[in-house]
Amino acid sequence: MPTLEDAISLAAEAHAGQTDKAGEPYVLHLLRVMQSQDTKEAMMAGVLHDLVEDTELDFDDLRGRGYPNEVIEALRHVTKRADESYQEFVDRAGQHPISRQVKISDLEDNMDVMRLDSITEADARRLKKYRRSHKKLVGQDGPGGDGSGPFSGAARKRRALIEMLQNRTPEMENWIGRMGAPNPPYERKDFVWHYLLQSFATWGNSRGHDGLIGTDENYRRVTYEVLEGIPKERRPDHIEEVLRNAKVRYPGRKSQYLSENVEIVRKMGGLQAVRERALDQTDAEAKIEFVKQFKGIGDKYARNFWMDVRHPDFEDKVALDQRIRGITELLGRQFESYEAEEQFYLEVAEEAGLTGWELDRLLYNFTDHFERAIEEA
């Protein structure tokens, strides 16, 4: 059976020439992780934890060299697979006692910024990811958990979110009041086209709203009436020019979608007719399916479309975007479907005394506020 010295020699040989973010030999990082462990098997796993991921060697090579199954199994848990996200990898690492401790030590060493000459924006993003993962692993009880997920802090974080939703700032209260405001947007004749434009403006980056919807010079050039009057073959180029001026993401693809959507509205009979057909849909699910027939509109934006116009059928719906899913990750939660994740947030909303719409708008518009509360829990 290989000794710890053998493992150190193997790591030094396999990682020869590799350096860390500070430009130092990578093996020094491996040795620091190793020295943080308290058993021989854990120390072996510590010095070899990046071997399979970052070198040509694999688990069969380690087995052939006689490394014990306990070490190999720990290394399997602490080696990221190509088909899993970073968060899934961290969750899996936390399910084995040795790999959990190795990963904690790995993260702690990677979070030591004193070895860096400067911290770039990319470094800052990476450090934030490392801190989140470290907090999860440090707070973990181990396999099985308490029924609320593998991390013991999950219930505490959920409670912190609910408390912040209950203890709202005056600015948050203003947002909540909008649901019952008079003259809801769906009363306007062009509401379908206007909110299609808004969906495309914010798809990829919400800042596109200011450039397209909030800039009259650009907005006037993509109203339905204007676009309908432009020959079909010239219309995409016209739309793309406007979207580029407005600094909207993916202008080429979106210009094609919007041009096709002009034809869809025209075939339905125009703005007033499409508005009436949209509002005549019997329930929330039917309204979602109606909007999804427009090019470029999927589940998320079909829900968001109706939530933006404050339609009462959508008081208990949540549009899961990247911001809300970032909160899901902070909470240490994973869901098998869109519906399961939405149901989780509807239950949170109910406990906080909110509708799904109110929770959605608060989490979207005050993301940083809620993320800080969860991180501090």
Please list the pLDDT of the chain residue by residue as tens digits (377 residues). Answer: 899 999 999 999 999 999 988 889 999 999 999 998 989 999 999 999 999 999 889 999 999 999 999 999 999 999 998 777 888 899 999 999 999 999 999 998 888 877 777 777 777 778 888 888 888 888 754 443 433 444 446 778 888 999 999 999 999 988 787 666 667 788 888 999 999 999 999 887 778 899 999 999 999 999 999 999 999 999 999 999 999 999 998 899 999 999 999 999 999 999 999 999 999 999 999 999 999 999 999 888 888 899 888 888 988 888 887 788 889 988 888 887 888 888 899 999 998 999 998 999 899 889 888 988 888 87
Residue 145 lies inside a defined structural domain of this protein:
no
Last residue of a domain, one of 286, 309, 332: 309
In a domain, 143, yes or no: no
Residues paired with residue 151 on neighbouring β-strands, in sequence order: 140
- The answer to whether residue 364 is domain-embedded is yes
The residue range of the domain holding 165 is 154-177+320-376
Into how many domains does the chain fold? 3
Are residues 45 and 20 both part of a single domain? yes
Is residue 133 located within the same domain as residue 9?
yes
Q: What is the CATH number of the domain that holds 248?
A: 1.10.340.30
40 lies in the same domain as 91: yes
Answer whether residue 237 is part of any domain. yes
Beta-sheet strands, E only, within 236-360: none
Q: Are 36 and 105 in contact (CB under 8 A)?
A: yes
Task: Verify that 288 and 231 share a domain, yes or no.
Answer: yes
- Which tokens sit at 99? 């790999």
Question: For residue 30, what are its two tokens?
Answer: 């491996």
The answer to whether residues 286 and 224 belong to one domain is: yes
Contact call for residues 211 and 242 (beta carbons, < 8 A): no
State residue 336 phi and psi, 5-degree precision.
Answer: -85, -15
Predicted confidence at residue 336, as pLDDT, reads 79
Across 109-242, where does the E strand assignment appear? none
Co-location of 191 and 95 in the same domain: no
Structure tokens at 362: 């608060």
Is 133 found in the same domain as 8?
yes
222 and 123 both lie in a single domain:
no
Q: What is the CATH number of the domain that holds 36?
A: 1.10.3210.10
pLDDT at 329: 86
Q: Is residue 239 part of a domain?
A: yes
d(CA 119, CA 166): 37
Look at residue 149 and tell me if it is in a domain: no
Question: Which DSSP string do the residues of 100-123 spell out, in sequence order?
Answer: HHHHHHHHHHHT-GGG-S---HHH
Q: Are residues 166 and 201 in the same domain?
A: no
One-letter amino acid at 22 equals A
Same-domain check for residues 84 and 111: yes
Residue that finishes a domain, picked among 111, 138, 165: 138
The predicted model scores a pTM of: 0.55
Q: Are residues 299 and 359 in the same domain?
A: no
In a domain, 46, yes or no: yes
Answer yes or no: is 144 within a domain. no
Say yes or no: 247 and 341 in one domain. no
From 138, 167, 200, the end of a domain falls on 138
